[in-house]
């Protein structure tokens, strides 16, 4: 089977095209013929070695890239009871979807509604599940609550804006350009602002009656985290769920006290889909919203195994709006 692997860390240059035997599922696993794979920033981080020592997202070299996919079950390992050959499924945070075939733990698989395409499943699962737990479990968004969403035109950001509005929250959004701010507004943001070298915090307070917001969602990290403190109300919550601009390594907890007794959390998706029931419950909510038209996800581009590097480069340089998808077969 054709696939893309890394056997060393070194950024996107470490990617190698290979032709390997089709893997055999072990007990509790299924073999899936991959139809589509989501292209994610986590794939870039994997190439860079950011998960080399992670206990949450374990990576072993050589590693077949791609941690989100959708396709058809073609073989079952022993003890698989709730899936059958021919089932249409999707999965995430399991590496190996940049390939014609992937072995996936059965409990990680989510069955697809008949009306949902492989492409949309691969475009929505990872980002959708992430936005779902951030909005509902971490932020407890509801009428009367407010939030600030950084990178609101990105894949997770666009879904999070929509889920926050569906929950009844007032949504502030930040982006790096007016073009991206227009995307955030189109997704429902009440106020969309530019980062403006950290002055977004003053603009949020000015637009919110002088008060900070209840929750700040920050996937950027070093460039925005400290200014995010100023955008939050006293005893507000800062949710740092990514660090695409680099991690903050010199944070003194005293800063949180000085900024208004803030709470800071660094959650990960894996802990919020730690069993089949929670994974499938969240996926059902996301898929239902897509099918009833209340959740919009734009496909930013369609790529092949030969051209996926172009998509990853566009993500890395922040030139991607929406979700890119890799088409593997059929």
Q: What is the pLDDT along the chain (330 residues), one digit of tens a residue?
A: 999 999 999 999 999 999 999 999 999 999 999 999 999 999 999 999 999 999 889 899 999 999 999 999 999 999 999 999 999 999 999 999 999 999 999 999 999 999 999 999 999 999 999 999 999 999 999 999 999 999 999 999 999 999 999 999 999 999 999 999 999 999 999 999 999 888 999 999 999 999 999 999 999 988 999 999 999 999 999 999 988 888 888 999 999 999 999 999 999 999 999 999 999 999 999 999 999 999 999 999 999 999 999 999 999 888 888 899 999 965
What distance, in Å, lies between the first and last C-alpha atoms of the chain?
Answer: 15
Half-sphere exposure of residue 284: CA atoms within 13 angstroms, side-chain side: 6
Task: Please report the pLDDT score of residue 163 as a whole number.
Answer: 98
Name which of 154, 192, 199 is nearest 173 in CA terms.
Answer: 192
CA dihedral 208, 214, 220, 221 (to 10 degrees): 120
Q: Domains in the chain, start-ordered, CATH in brackets? A: 2-126+270-327 (3.90.180.10), 143-266 (3.40.50.720)
Total Cβ atoms within 10 A of residue 98 = 26
User: Cis peptide leading into 62, omega within 30 of 0?
Assistant: yes
Q: How far apart are CA 262 and CA 255, in angstroms?
A: 9
User: What six digits make up the tokens of 225?
Assistant: 């985290």
Q: Which residues contact 75 (CB under 8 A, 6 or more apart)?
A: 24, 25, 30, 31, 85
Task: Please report the pLDDT score of residue 156 as a whole number.
Answer: 95
């Amino acid at each position: 089977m054709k696939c893309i692997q890394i056997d060393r860390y070194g950024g996107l240059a470490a990617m190698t095209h290979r032709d390997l035997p089709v893997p055999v599922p072990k007990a509790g696993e299924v073999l899936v013929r991959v139809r589509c794979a989501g292209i994610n920033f986590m794939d870039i981080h994997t190439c860079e070695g950011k998960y080399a020592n992670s206990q949450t997202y374990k990576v072993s070299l050589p590693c077949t890239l791609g941690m989100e996919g959708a396709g058809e079950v073609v073989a079952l390992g022993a003890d698989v009871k709730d899936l059958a050959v021919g089932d249409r499924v999707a999965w995430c945070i399991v590496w190996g979807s940049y390939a014609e075939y992937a072995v996936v733990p059965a409990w990680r698989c989510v069955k697809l509604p008949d009306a949902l395409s492989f492409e949309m499943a691969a475009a929505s699962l990872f980002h959708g599940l992430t936005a779902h737990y951030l909005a509902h479990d971490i932020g407890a968004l509801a009428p009367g609550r407010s939030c600030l969403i950084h990178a609101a035109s990105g894949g997770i950001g666009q879904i999070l804006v929509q889920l926050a509005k569906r929950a009844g929250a007032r949504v502030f959004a930040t982006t790096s350009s007016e073009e991206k701010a227009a995307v955030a507004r189109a997704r429902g943001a009440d106020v969309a602002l530019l980062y403006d070298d950290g002055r977004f915090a003053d603009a949020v307070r000015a637009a919110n009656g002088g008060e900070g917001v209840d929750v700040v969602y920050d996937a950027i990290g070093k460039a925005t985290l400290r200014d995010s403190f100023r955008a939050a109300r006293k005893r507000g919550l800062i949710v740092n769920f990514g660090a695409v601009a680099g991690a903050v390594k010199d944070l003194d907890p005293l800063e949180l006290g000085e900024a208004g007794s803030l709470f800071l959390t660094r959650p990960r998706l894996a802990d919020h889909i730690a069993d089949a029931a929670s994974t499938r419950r969240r996926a059902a909510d996301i898929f239902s919203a897509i099918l009833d038209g209340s959740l919009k996800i734009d496909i930013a581009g369609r790529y092949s195994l030969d051209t996926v590097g172009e998509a990853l480069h566009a993500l890395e340089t922040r030139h991607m709006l929406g979700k890119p998808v890799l088409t593997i077969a059929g």
